[in-house]
Amino acid sequence: MDPTTSGPGVSALEEKNLGRIAQIIGPVLDVAFPPGKIPNIYNALVIKGRDTAGQQINVSCEVQQLLGNNRARAVAMSATDGLMRGMEVIDTGAPVSTPKFYRKFSIPLTKL
């Protein structure tokens, strides 16, 4: 299967669930999505782009509340400096996750 497709005749870009920033209040973002495409609570959202000064922005968020009217409220995991209304937001379709770290002999640190 072609790596750019995730199903027969469907490109990965067509499957992305995209929204736009509607409001920013400190670390809290309200994101508007197309009708019927609202993400689940705890889904990870990613915002990538450039601010007005040309600096690269890469912010991860977690959906905390569904507001109605196709809007979701999310909390940013890093500074929201440089984010602007109208910026594109990508719904990853999965919860926020962290890598699992292993000690010597492949014992997960979470088992200690």
> 60: domain CATH number?
2.40.10.170
Domain that holds residue 63: 17-93
Global confidence as pTM: 0.76
Q: Is 110 part of a structural domain of the chain?
A: no
**Domains in the chain, number:** 1
Q: Is 77 part of a structural domain of the chain?
A: yes
Q: Is 76 part of a structural domain of the chain?
A: yes
Q: What is the pLDDT of residues 30-76, one digit of tens each?
A: 999 999 999 999 999 999 999 888 999 999 999 999 999 999 999 99
Q: Is 99 part of a structural domain of the chain?
A: no
Q: Is 30 part of a structural domain of the chain?
A: yes
pLDDT at residue 5, as a whole number = 37
Q: What is the pLDDT of residues 83-101, one digit of tens each?
A: 999 999 999 999 988 776 6
**What is the DSSP secondary-structure string of 76-107?**
ESS--TT--TT-EEEEEEEE---PPPB-GGG-
Q: What's the CA gap between 92 and 89, in Å, rounded?
A: 10
pLDDT at residue 52, as a whole number = 87
